[in-house]
């Protein structure tokens, strides 16, 4: 059984007269598979991500993740979006560790376990070039650096499902390609199921096992291609 099943999903914003952002949108993703969703701006990619993670209620259809219907926000998924959503009053390190509190808010962690996650957060931050910024606050970092911190936050709890919506959008091409390699390494190690939204076809082909193309008005998946092996090199 697929890990993520999106079945005939429709989404209309703002009542019956509102924008029909998605209609009859279906897709399945196998466990450990990395799929990329590409399509023109405004075709509904971000909307699809919000429905799969339960952040918005859908107008029609079903989403099932790990055999369970998604009817509320999925706290177990790792998410990183184009607009970094770091909490301004927390340090970068504390932001990266945030999912640990959200997933099991009432659980008190052992000191050794906290130390382990603290070390892991620092390791992830170092991996994306943010060593030395652990104790800074988000406003002290550039947009691209905040994006990198968001990616670390998405990875801190080894999520089985990783949802990435233009996670490298604000990065220059060099940093972006470095992060592709980092993400590829992380994915080969942890084998999460990944859905990546991007408008960068090279990024999609480089990272994903399968590339899905969305059309607009209303948004749905209209084509898919397996990425040939060996992968194209940057
Ligand atoms: P993409 O991520 O592919 O650029 P979006 O999912 O952001 O596309 O948007 C799909 C359509 O839904 C667009 O027409 C957009 O204007 C509309 N839309 C997105 N978010 C909202 C919202 N919160 N309220 C109303 N319309 C929205
Ligand atoms: P993205 O491609 O990442 O979705 P957009 O520029 O399309 O970026 O949208 C930025 C934000 O604005 C989205 O999170 C969406 O919720 C909101 N948005 C987009 N279109 C509309 C709209 N027509 N009405 C209200 N909010 C919108």
In the predicted structure, residue 182 carries a pLDDT above the cut 60: yes
Q: For ligand 2, pick from 11, 20, 41, 46 the residue to mutate: most ligand atoms within 8 Å of CB.
A: 46
Ligand 1 surroundings by CB, under 6 angstroms: 13-14, 19, 21, 39, 41-47
Residue 110 CA to ligand 2 centre (angstroms): 41
* pLDDT value of residue 187: 85
* Averaged confidence pLDDT in the chain: 85
Strand order across the 34-38 sheet: 78-81, 161-165, 193-197, 34-38, 210-215, 220-226
Residue located nearest, by CA, to atom 24 of ligand 1:
13
pLDDT band at 233 (very low <50, low <70, confident <90, very high): low
Q: What is the 219 CA–ligand 1 centroid distance (Å)?
A: 10
Q: ipTM higher than 0.90?
A: no
Between these two residues, 160 and 137, which has the higher pLDDT value?
Answer: 137
Q: Is the pLDDT of residue 76 over 70?
A: yes
Specify the residue with its C-alpha closest to ligand 1, atom 6.
Answer: 44
Q: What is the pLDDT of residues 11-51, one digit of tens each?
A: 888 877 788 888 888 999 999 999 999 988 888 888 899 88
Nearest CA to ligand 1 atom 13: 42
**Ligand 1: distance of its center to the CA of 21 in Å?**
6
Q: What's the gap in Å between 123 CA and the centre of ligand 2?
A: 33
Which residues of the chain form beta strands (DSSP E)? 4-12, 20-29, 34-38, 60-65, 68-69, 78-81, 161-165, 193-197, 210-215, 220-226
Give the pLDDT confidence score for residue 40 in this predicted structure.
85
């Amino acid at each position: 059984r697929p890990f993520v099943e999106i079945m005939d999903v429709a989404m209309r914003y703002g009542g019956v007269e509102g924008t029909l952002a998605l209609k009859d949108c279906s897709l399945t993703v196998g466990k450990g598979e990395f799929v990329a969703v590409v399509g023109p701006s405004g075709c509904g990619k971000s909307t699809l991500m919000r429905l799969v993670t339960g952040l918005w209620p859908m107008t029609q259809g079903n989403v099932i993740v790990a055999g369970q219907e998604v009817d509320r926000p999925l706290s177990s998924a790792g998410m990183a979006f184009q607009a970094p959503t770091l909490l301004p009053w927390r340090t970068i390190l504390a932001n990266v560790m945030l999912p640990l509190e959200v997933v099991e808010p009432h659980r008190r962690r052992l000191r050794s376990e906290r130390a382990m996650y603290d070390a892991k957060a620092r390791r992830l931050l170092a991996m994306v070039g943010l060593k030395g910024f652990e104790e800074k606050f988000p406003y002290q970092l550039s947009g691209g650096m905040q994006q990198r911190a968001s990616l670390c936050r998405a990875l801190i709890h080894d999520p089985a499902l990783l949802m990435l919506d233009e996670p490298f959008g604000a990065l220059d091409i060099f940093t972006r390609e470095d992060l592709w390699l980092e993400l590829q390494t992380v994915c080969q190690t942890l084998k999460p199921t990944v859905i990546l939204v991007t408008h960068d076809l090279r990024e999609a082909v480089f990272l994903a096992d399968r590339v899905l193309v969305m059309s607009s008005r209303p948004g749905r998946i209209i084509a898919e291609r397996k990425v040939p092996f060996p992968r194209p090199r940057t």
